[in-house]
Amino acid sequence: MKPRRGITGTCVGTVAAGLLVSLGVFGEQAAGAGPAEDTDPVRTGLASVASGAYLDYGPAGVQRMDQLSQWLGGAQLRVGHTYLPGDRWSNIEGHPAFLADWARWRRAGTDRMLVLNVPMLERSEARLADWHVGMLLRMGAVGHYDRHFRTLASRLVQLGIPDTVIVLGWEMNGTTYTHRCGPDPRSWKAYWNRIVAAMRSVPGQAFRFDFAPNRGRDAIPWTECYPGDSVVDIIGMDSYDQAPGKTFEEQATAPYGLQAQIDFAAAHNKQISYPEWGLFRNGDNPEYMRGMLEWIARHRPLYQTITDYCPHGVWQCDDNPKSSSVYRSLLFAQPAPQVPGVPQNPEIPQVPAVPAPPVPTGVPGVPEPTPTASVSAPAPAPTPAGSTPTPTPTPTPAATVAPTPTPAATVAPVPTPVVTAPVPPPAPVSTPTPTPTPARTETPTAAPTPVSTPTPTPTPPAPAPEPPEVTPPAAPPTPDPAPTPAPKPPLLVPTGPVNSAEWCVPMDLGEWVNRWVEKRKYCVNLPWPLSPGFGSSPAE
């Protein structure tokens, strides 16, 4: 019996101890202890990476950051990503009215990061010829455009965002952008160095410069464009699901692909980033989405921002529901619950264009923006991946266009020589003969009399005869004025193809000459380039 009682007591003690342990565990959970730590290496790795998205280049992008956060169950996004429109220099200089909303968002959190894509040349998506791009790169390499980048740097510092990550001249190894490297790699690298030196010369700056080519070789190996360790802080890569039928691993290990980026960055002791990535030519591809997120979790870049609009995205695009589910469940430490009132893929309200507020003044050394630099509706966003235009800000580029929001900026037409036609003097105007009006005589100012008479005689001895009705004498015949020539057209209006060396100019040589000369349009051949400053901003 004793042994049995002993066994019984032991069992009772064991059960009691187990119960106490259980109660202790339950008590901790009841007292507010969180769920068990997530051991999924992908979720754990992603939680340590600063994440965000490109949602829109303007104020709408700032507003949608909160909406995306709600869709992800309240997760806080740490990276805001936008693009400067590349249509004209005044926008590349960073109009304060355009940057103000992003600056406020960045300053609202000490752990936040603003990533700003900056074009290196205006008319960034104008598809200029290679010879033209080469000429512009050479001008930049000798400092012709330094002042624009000093202005941008000064404005970023003045707005309180001196630590902005500058993605300068992105996707330079492709063919989409005017700031491409292929036409003259040597000048491109020298120009990059000039820009970085100009921006770092501004007091108070703490910029980091991100060198971000397209994944793959594209038009030129991106390694041939690398400008040097002293002027690069981050080696990024834009990585879209480009190659039809290729798996994620095949794209990652292809020449000049993601693995090459990792190896190159390690050799140069640089951090990595993924400013643009997403779906593209293979449609809703959860395998690529999962592969890219696992890659990010494994290699821990400084930051990653998915391009979120169709066909690339997962929140603002309803075309990719499977990929959307993968992204939502893996990006953060646990699957985000559905937030009441927040649909899975909410319809994003279009924010109407708001006139730009007055530009703040008082920035030392920063010229006031020209009136033409309106930023209320900047050019469409850039186009990313592989020589296909992205948002450069048209928020919804064509499906065939790879994303790089260059902010599809309204592309300014390829400029022709700006020659202001002299304003012709006004044609001689003959003084018109006044229309006859009823006869009228001046009356003394003392008091008006009911009947006006030609003389002020108060009491004529006899009624004066009525003056004859005044009829204006006919104007003396004047010789017919010389025929007024028709308004002259602008002096230089090219009629040939754009960028042609042949310019045809209409000319009016006078009536007497035209009687002997039948043609009135003359064409001349102009050697290209005309001069280092032709068609560009004046040299400093």
Tell me whether residue 494 is in a domain.
no
Strands (E), 338-435: none
Residue 173: per-residue pLDDT: 98
Residue 507: per-residue pLDDT: 61
Lowest mean pLDDT among 41-50, 208-217, 399-408: 399-408
Residue 508: per-residue pLDDT: 61
Tell me whether residue 111 is in a domain.
yes
Query: pLDDT (tens digit, 9 = 90+) per residue, 355-379?
Result: 444 434 444 444 444 444 334 444 4
Tell me whether residue 131 is in a domain.
yes
Residue 41: per-residue pLDDT: 84
Query: pLDDT (tens digit, 9 = 90+) per residue, 303-339?
Result: 999 999 999 999 999 999 999 999 999 876 444 444 4
Considering only residues 443 and 55, tell me which one the structure prediction assigns the higher pLDDT.
55
Q: Domain range spanning residue 124?
A: 41-330
Count of beta carbons in the 10 Å neighbourhood of residue 258: 25
Alpha carbon 141 to chain centroid distance?
Answer: 23
| Strand pairing class (502-506; 521-525) | antiparallel
Tell me whether residue 189 is in a domain.
yes
Q: What is the dihedral of CA 267, 386, 134, 230, to 10 degrees?
A: -20
- Environment class of residue 247 by beta-carbon count within 10 Å: exposed (0-12), middle (13-18) or buried (19+)? middle
By residue count, the chain amounts to 540
Considering only residues 67 and 353, tell me which one the structure prediction assigns the higher pLDDT.
67
Strands (E), 204-355: 208-211, 234-236, 239-240, 271-273, 277-278, 303-307
Tell me whether residue 110 is in a domain.
yes
Residue 33: per-residue pLDDT: 44
In whole angstroms, what is the distance from residue 372 CA to residue 367 CA? 14
The pLDDT of 272-284, averaged and rounded, is 97
- How much of the chain exceeds pLDDT 90, in percent? 50
Residue 494: per-residue pLDDT: 42
**DSSP code for 303:** E
Q: Across the chain, what does the average pLDDT equal?
A: 72
Q: Which residues contact 138 (CB under 8 A, 6 or more apart)?
A: 184, 187, 532
The pLDDT of 375-395, averaged and rounded, is 45
CATH number of the CATH domain containing 51: 3.20.20.80
Residue 59 pLDDT > 60: yes
Tell me whether residue 21 is in a domain.
no
N-to-C CA span, the chain: 107
State whether residue 345 is helix, strand or coil.
Answer: coil
The count of structural domains within the chain is 1
Tell me whether residue 351 is in a domain.
no
Residue 435: per-residue pLDDT: 44
Query: pLDDT (tens digit, 9 = 90+) per residue, 481-519?
Result: 444 444 444 434 344 444 444 445 556 666 656 555 554
Residue 460: per-residue pLDDT: 46
Question: Is pTM beyond 0.85 here?
Answer: no
Tell me whether residue 262 is in a domain.
yes
